Amino acid sequence: MVFFDVNSFLSPRGGGARTYHIKKSDWFATRPEHEYVILGPGAGRGTIRLCQDCYPIRTAYGIPYGRSKNYRVLVDLGAADDIVQEMSPSVVEIGDPWLSARWGGRLPRRILRTAFWHSDPHTAYLEPLVRKGRPWLKPFADRILSKVDSWHRGYDLIWCASEWVAALLRGRGYPNVEIIRFGIDRELFHSRPRTPEILQRFGLDPERPTLLYTGRLDFEKDVHVLMDALPGILALEAKPQVLVTGRGEWEGRFGAFQAPGYAYGGFLDNREDLSNLVASCDLLLATCPVETFGLSVLEGLCSGRGVVSAHDGGGGEQVRQSGAGELFQAGSATDFVKAVERALPRADEYAAKARAWGAAWPTWNDMFARQNARCLELLDARR
């Protein structure tokens, strides 16, 4: 059986969707009875690898997006049509549904049409633009959302990684929503002794509390709240240090910021280094209130570290359900600082709760086994 994923908004260098496809490829590699094909945006028709040892994915032309041009937006959906003709897939999954929703909705009914809601365009992109002083975009944004919704109501299945995003879609009248949360790589993200050397590499003192933000440094991630909160956090009585890693439109500002106890580490492309860093900090910081899941939050919890997160979104949902951290009002730097202040003396307590939460969390293989079984169940019901 052939499974075909189309992800029209993807970076080969980072992001939760990239990790999702890498892990899904690994799972299908152990299932010779199935074939898995991925199409993503690139410089043209060809292949790329999402990591050094990864199975190559197919590409078609995508327009570079963002200041650093790490992401591309797929525009050559003719390549997707060609793969459908060539491979005759039984299941198609749209990985960034709001960009290729219409294409997926036109597929023959013999194909199981599914989507994974990796990002919600209205809350992640359109609403932030309106907040940035572009109110004229709101009628345009509402019209786009209405169209996207109408296309998706005809899909056979919409996968959501959190209750938060599932509630959004159900509120918009989607009848076909199911929740399946991302898995965890236990070989990388697990509780273990700290590695003082990795903190020293960034000029930090391993004897002082260390707070870590790791993720994309773009406006929709609410990183401006972190920037505004930095002076207050660094001035707390517990004398915490803050390390920021990642790249994006705000990386220049975080790189230029200077204060005792602060460091900017750039982008960590070595996942083992990242996992050691997560396990060596005292608390993780998560600012985005519109995460459809919040993979970095899960990786922190499974590494035995508490998290200070924005109240809303998939990240806040995980912190609330695990009890392993503090929540703050989205968009409020003042409330963020207060949440960090509350969390610091309870870091060991939150670490214990995070370990218990992470120990019960399913792996990526568990996730894809369930996802695959559900698709086969729906196909069998058609026969």
Most confident of the following: 147-151, 173-177, 364-368:
364-368
28 vs 219: which has the higher pLDDT: 28
Q: Compute the average pLDDT of residues 284-294.
A: 95
309 vs 56: which has the higher pLDDT: 309
The mean predicted confidence, pLDDT, of the chain is 93
pLDDT band for position 67 (cuts 50, 70, 90): low
Please tell me the total number of residues recorded for the chain in this structure: 383
b/e sequence 336-362, b meaning 16+ C-beta within 10 Å = bbbbbbebbeebeebbebbbebbeebb
Instruction: For the chain, give every residue range classified as CATH 3.40.50.2000.
Output: 2-183+363-382, 196-359
pLDDT band for position 301 (cuts 50, 70, 90): very high
pLDDT of 8 > 70? The answer is yes
d(CA 303, CA 53): 24
- What pLDDT, in 10s, does the model give residues 313-344? 999 999 999 999 999 999 999 999 999 999 99
Q: Compute the average pLDDT of residues 190-211.
A: 96
pLDDT band for position 69 (cuts 50, 70, 90): low
Question: Shortest CA distance to 116 belongs to which of 380, 367, 379, 377?
Answer: 367
| Alpha helices (H) in the chain, listed in sequence order | 16-29, 78-87, 97-105, 121, 127-131, 137-152, 163-171, 196-200, 223-234, 251-256, 271-280, 295-302, 313-322, 333-343, 347-359, 364-382
pLDDT of 200 > 90? The answer is yes
pLDDT band for position 121 (cuts 50, 70, 90): confident
* pLDDT for the residue 221: 92
- For the 2-183+363-382 domain, the top CATH level (class) is alpha beta
d(CA 35, CA 319): 36
Q: Which strand (E) or helix (H) includes residue 61? A: strand 57-65
* pLDDT for the residue 68: 65
Answer yes or no: pTM beyond 0.75: yes
* pLDDT for the residue 156: 95
Q: Compute the average pLDDT of residues 207-214.
A: 97
Q: Do 303 and 276 touch, CB atoms closer than 8 A?
A: no
| Cα of 72 vs its chain's centroid, Å | 16
pLDDT of 130 > 80? The answer is no
* pLDDT for the residue 71: 84
173 vs 241: which has the higher pLDDT: 241
What fold characterizes domain 196-359? Rossmann fold (3.40.50)
Which range is least confidently modeled, 76-80, 140-144, 234-238? 140-144
- Percentage of residues in the chain with pLDDT exceeding 70? 98
* pLDDT for the residue 256: 98
Q: Which strand (E) or helix (H) includes residue 56? A: none
* pLDDT for the residue 145: 81
* pLDDT for the residue 13: 76
